[in-house]
Copies of this chain bind each other. A is one copy, B any other.
Amino acid sequence: MDHTILPQTRRELLSMIGKAGGGVAMYQAMTALGHAAETQFSGPPALAGARKGASVLVLGAGLAGMLAAHELTKAGYKVQVLEFQDRPGGRNYSIRGGDKVVETDGTVQDCNFAPGNYLNPGPWRIPHHHRTLLHYCKALGVELEPFIQLNHNAFVHRTKAFGGKPQRYREVATDFKGHVSELMGKALNAGSLDDKLTKEDKDKLLVAMREWGALDKNMAYTGDLKVASQRGYDRAPGGGVGGAPTPSAVNSLSDTLSSNVWTQMGFFFNYVMQTTMFQPKGGMDMIGKAFFKQVGKLVRLNTRVTAIAQNDQGVSVSWEDTKTGQKGVAAADYCVCTIPATILNQIDIQVGPAMKAALKALPYSNSVKIGLEMKRRFWEEDYSIYGGHSFTDQAISLISYPNNNFFKDGSAVLLGAFAGGAGGYQLAGMTPAQRIEAALVQGSVFHPAEYRKEFASGVAFAWSRAPWIMGCCATWTEESRAAHYQNLCALDGRIVLAGEHASYYGCWMEGALLSSLDAITRLHQRAQAA
Contacts and interface: CB of A to CB of B under 8 A. Distances in A.
Contact of A10 (B238, B272, B426): B426
Nearest to A208: B262
A98 interface: no
A307 interface: no
B17 A442 contact: yes
Interface string A245-285: 10010000110011010110111011110111010000000
Nearest to A17: B441
- A-B interface, 6 closest residue pairs, ranked by CB to CB distance from nearest: A240-B518, A239-B514, A239-B515, A40-B238, A192-B192, A237-B504
Contact of A422 (B8, B20, B190, B397): B8
A146 B144 contact: no
A271 B393 contact: no
A27 B148 contact: no
Nearest to A389: B1
Contact of A1 (B1, B397, B406): B397
Contacts of A276: 148, 151, 153, 385-388
Interface in A269-325: 269-272, 274-276, 278
Contacts of A101: none
B129 A153 contact: yes
19 contacts: A1-B267, A4-B260, A13-B395, A20-B164, A37-B234, A146-B148, A151-B276, A170-B274, A183-B184, A187-B192, A187-B193, A238-B504, A239-B502, A239-B515, A240-B514, A241-B522, A243-B485, A243-B503, A243-B505
A90 interface: no
A384 B3 contact: no
Contacts of A240: 489, 498, 502-503, 514-515, 517-519, 522
Given A1-B398, A248-B37, A271 B230 contact: yes
A27 B167 CA distance: 10
A38 interface: yes
B2 A275 contact: no
Contacts of A164: 19-20, 23, 26-27
B274 A153 contact: yes
Contact of A193 (B183, B418, B502): B183
A326 interface: no
Contacts of A518: 238-243
A31 interface: yes
Number of copies: 2
A490 B183 CA distance: 45
A145 B386 CA distance: 11
A429 B168 CA distance: 44
A394 interface: yes
A170 B271 contact: yes
A241 B3 contact: no
B20 A444 contact: yes
B211 A163 contact: no
A448 B183 contact: no
A241 B193 contact: no
Contact of A28 (B4, B204, B448, B516): B448
Interface residues of A, number: 162
Interface string A146-172: 101011110000111001111010100
Contact of A39 (B16, B40, B168, B236): B236
Given A240-B502, A384-B128, A165 B38 contact: no
A204 B257 contact: yes
A421 interface: yes
Contacts of A145: 406
A423 interface: yes
Interface stretch (A53-61, A75-83, A194-202, A459-467): A194-202
B37 A384 contact: no
A46 to B, nearest CB: 17
Indicate the member of A17, A253, A442 with the most B CB atoms within 10 Å: A17
Contacts of A146: 146, 148, 386-387, 403, 406
Given A183-B197, A214-B269, A238-B504, 4 more contacts: A152-B274, A239-B504, A239-B513, A276-B385
Interface string A417-443: 010111100100100000000100110
A50 interface: no
B38 A4 contact: no
Given A37-B232, A503-B237, A159 B5 contact: yes
Contacts of A397: 1-3
Contact of A128 (B8, B28, B153, B244): B153
B239 A40 contact: yes
A205 interface: yes
Contact of A20 (B134, B211, B445): B445
A529 B113 CA distance: 54
A382 interface: yes
A30 interface: yes
A21 interface: yes
